[in-house]
Amino acid sequence: MTWRTVLGLLAAAAAPARAAQAPGPVLAQAESLRLAGRPWHAAQALLAAAARAERPNAEFIVRAARAELLARRYDQAKSLLAGQPWLEDYENGEALEVLATAELALGEGGPAGPHFALARTKSAGLRAALLAARAAVAFEEAGATDSAARYYTLARSAGLAAADPWLRLRLARVTRDTAAAAALLADLPAPAARFAPAARAGALLAAGDSAAALDAFALSGRLLDAARLALQLGDSARARGALYELLTRAPESDDAAAGVTLARAGLPPRLAAERVALARTLRLHGDPTAARVEVQRAVAQGDSSAATLVLYGELLVQANRLRDAELAYRASARDSALGPLAVYRRARVLVRLGDPGATDALSGFAAVYPADTAAPTALYVIGDVLVDRGDWPGAARWFGELLARYPADLRSSLARFRLAAHAVEEGRPDSAQRLYQSEADAVGPQRNAARFWLARLARMKGDTATALALWTALAHEDSIGYYGLRARQAAALPALEIVPSRPTPPPAAVARGLAELDTLGLAGLDSDAQASVRWLLARPGQDVDALLAWSEGLAARGWGSAAVRLAWQAATRAPNDPRVLRAIFPWPNRAAVEAEAGEFGVDPLVLAGLVRQESVFDLEALSAAGARGLAQLLPGTAAQTARGLDVTFYPEWITVPDLNLHLGAAHLAELLRRFGGRVDAAVAAYNAGITPVTRWLARPGADDPDQFLELIPFQETRGYVRAVLRNRELYRALYATSTN
């Protein structure tokens, strides 16, 4: 169950209509918090009040159970309601609905289905139709296909027109009548039509024709279903073939992640190729240790291919077994296709080991493979290592070779800035000016940064008029970029203002599409809603008004990444429309962000800019490193911050929206305290960690924020800090928000 569904279900509940009748001010407070986008705070208020009540009445228990749903403590929600004597009679099935929602979230479709069904009999209208659909979902998950078919039919007949294509699809896959299934699937509209082949396979399975269903699953690309069914039929060879074809073809997919469980349960790898496929899947889904074991076994079985050895090297590096990784890369260096990659990665491992042969390995790679995209990086790394050793003459030699051979490469741009910053430190402004000017003349990746620094150098020499002219031109030409905004500040120009746009109702087609998404979420059809959004992103060929309406609607519903992608599509058609900028930089959780920022004394514009950079306001965002939620917290960071706040925390709560914001704001506030209120340093530490930022602040010139930024050696962190600081100014211009 996704957060979009949980929040949708709660938004659709009857709580607002009944709030005035509820006992005590706590319920009103909780409702106010929920409406402000702070469901975790609402849950905490209710739970604390429930703990104080000696004899909580039924309403308080139901509210507390709803609070437990928000806190993702589904077992607690279930225990509060299960067995209550008034359960079936409470408020038109509301308590039954809450209990069933908790059961379904716990994977207990068996009891959830009947509870949803009973709640439906006590409801009417749209709510009854939605409960029928959710009962069907639960029955289907429990394998009760006849009951699922009955309730999908009831949901359709009750008038859920917005979800009807998806209900037809689901009904078709659980009906025993293959002719009826074919009729249901005959003229499905997009995007539901894409899933018709798999639904036909489901219908064959429901009709008892397992062999035909197995063939249909395989033909429709549903390899996980094919593997599971083949295993049930005792055809382990076919099951194995389908499973490992899936892991080889799409190791990054959710089906592949589920396939890992199947592999471990009944289809463990035997062949080296199967082990490698499983290893790639394990690595992509967060189990590098198990992945390394599988690759080791594949190598022991005789797989010495370069692809396998390079994968082994990557996993060994991840485990910090650098000497073993170096040997793996060396063994694959002769391969015609992967040899250059292996040579380069071996050289990078030698750098991490502090091996004296690292320089020769990197320079040799650049000499042997001058056209490889990593060749400029190899030369840059040599210079970077020498800078860390304090050998600036040596670094200048290698940076100079990089500039001569690859003048337009991003690494050359970085090298110019490293050399220029050092020249400024040594009191050689003319040398720095030549380097910055060469970047501007080459129209390099950092040309706007170079123009900013040319103005700073002019001011250092006392040429204020030139400095102001350069900064003013940059502020106008790069009006929404980091350096354009920074130039505006340096030249004391008026703050950027963006003309507000009047809200307009969405076009009728977009309004219908958003209503369909809402209906799918409320009906528990999460995967169908996700498929609809994916289909929309793949076919955004609409006018600007429609794209912006979709973008705003998706952002408000927690689909932040999808919303911004559509906004960029609109930008290609109307780049100067201020509405486009608001769509690219949305603020759908504004009340919650401002509240959390205020609680910890953080500038809400900084927190908004940070969340925009971290997750694009996507409730379910997940990074490759395992950071999650709006503020993209690692589980360890979230747990540590929660302990410091004396807040109860479980890992599964990490994407609860306002809890994630709460912990993110607290973490940012702690970093600001640690670094004396310096936003640039705190934001850098949010991305790179405290230890490296402490080291960078000890460098000469780091007390100057502009120099500190340019001297950050991690390209990712340098870009991240620029982006967050730019976002802060854009949110100020777009939303005219006062700061704390």
- The rounded Cα 57 to chain-centroid distance in angstroms is 40
Cβ atoms 528, 160 nearer than 8 A: no
Closest by CA position to 561, among listed 4, 143, 52, 177: 4
Residue 622, strand partner residues: 628
Cβ atoms 61, 49 nearer than 8 A: no
Can you give the pTM of this predicted structure? 0.85
**451-466 confidence digits (pLDDT tens):** 999 999 999 999 999 9
Residue 107 has, within 13 A of its CA and on its CB side, a CA count of 0
Evaluate whether residue 618 is within a structural domain. Answer: yes
**616-640 confidence digits (pLDDT tens):** 998 888 887 788 999 999 999 999 9
Task: Note whether 75 and 187 are same-domain residues.
Answer: yes
> Which residue carries 């592999």 as its tokens?
263
Percent of the chain at pLDDT > 90 equals: 76
The pLDDT value given to residue 18 = 41
Evaluate whether residue 487 is within a structural domain. Answer: no
Q: What is the CATH number of the domain that holds 675?
A: 1.10.530.10
The pLDDT value given to residue 17 = 37
Helix H segments across 220-271? 223-232, 236-249, 254-265
Cβ atoms 395, 383 nearer than 8 A: yes
Evaluate whether residue 381 is within a structural domain. Answer: no
The pLDDT value given to residue 371 = 96
**675-705 confidence digits (pLDDT tens):** 999 999 999 999 999 999 999 999 888 999 9
Amino acid at 615: S
N-to-C CA span, the chain? 36
Amino acid at 155: A
Helices 715-735 + 482-490 axis angle, to 10 = 70
The pLDDT value given to residue 5 = 54
Q: Which domain holds residue 82?
A: 3-255
Number of DSSP helices (H) and strands (E) in the chain, helices first:
43, 0
- Res. 443 pLDDT band, cuts 50 70 90: confident
Reply yes or no on whether the pLDDT at 390 is more than 50.
yes
Reply yes or no on whether the pLDDT at 260 is more than 70.
yes
Reply yes or no on whether the pLDDT at 11 is more than 80.
no
Cβ atoms 483, 451 nearer than 8 A: yes
Reply yes or no on whether the pLDDT at 98 is more than 90.
yes
Rounded Cα–Cα distance for residues 153 and 175 (Å): 10
Task: Note whether 660 and 559 are same-domain residues.
Answer: no
Residue 628, strand partner residues: 622, 633
Reply yes or no on whether the pLDDT at 20 is more than 70.
no
Rounded Cα–Cα distance for residues 97 and 451 (Å): 62
Task: Note whether 521 and 658 are same-domain residues.
Answer: no
The region, left, alpha or beta by phi > 0 then psi within -120 to 50, assigned to residue 617 is left
Structure tokens at 104: 């379904």
Q: What is the CATH number of the domain that holds 130?
A: 1.25.40
Task: Note whether 604 and 718 are same-domain residues.
Answer: yes
Rounded Cα–Cα distance for residues 604 and 452 (Å): 27
Task: Note whether 541 and 676 are same-domain residues.
Answer: no
Element (H, E) at 367: helix 358-368
Residue 322, classed as helix, strand or coil, is helix
Evaluate whether residue 399 is within a structural domain. Answer: no
Domain boundary among 237, 255, 273: 255
**272-324 confidence digits (pLDDT tens):** 999 999 999 999 887 899 999 999 999 999 999 999 999 999 999 999 999 99
Domain boundary among 209, 225, 255: 255
- Res. 708 pLDDT band, cuts 50 70 90: very high
Residue 167 has, within 13 A of its CA and on its CB side, a CA count of 29
Task: Note whether 8 and 68 are same-domain residues.
Answer: yes
Residue 557, classed as helix, strand or coil, is coil
Over range 155-174, report the average pLDDT.
Answer: 93
Domain boundary among 546, 576, 606: 576
Structure tokens at 312: 């082994």
The pLDDT value given to residue 570 = 93
Total count of domains within the chain: 3
Evaluate whether residue 125 is within a structural domain. Answer: yes
CA angle at 245 for the pair 536 and 107, rounded to the nearest 5°? 65
Residue 9 has, within 13 A of its CA and on its CB side, a CA count of 23
Evaluate whether residue 441 is within a structural domain. Answer: no
Reply yes or no on whether the pLDDT at 736 is more than 80.
no
Residue 586 has, within 13 A of its CA and on its CB side, a CA count of 29
Task: Note whether 12 and 138 are same-domain residues.
Answer: yes
Helix H segments across 406-540? 410-425, 429-441, 447-460, 464-477, 482-490, 508-522, 526-538
Residue 620, classed as helix, strand or coil, is coil
Task: Note whether 565 and 632 are same-domain residues.
Answer: no
Task: Note whether 602 and 567 are same-domain residues.
Answer: no
Task: Note whether 130 and 222 are same-domain residues.
Answer: yes
Q: Transcribe 520-540 into DSSP letters.
A: HHHTT-HHHHHHHHHHHHH--
Task: Note whether 557 and 649 are same-domain residues.
Answer: no
Cβ atoms 474, 448 nearer than 8 A: yes
Rounded Cα–Cα distance for residues 251 and 379 (Å): 34
Rounded Cα–Cα distance for residues 693 and 685 (Å): 6
The region, left, alpha or beta by phi > 0 then psi within -120 to 50, assigned to residue 603 is beta
Task: Note whether 545 and 655 are same-domain residues.
Answer: no
Evaluate whether residue 420 is within a structural domain. Answer: no
The pLDDT value given to residue 653 = 84
Evaluate whether residue 474 is within a structural domain. Answer: no
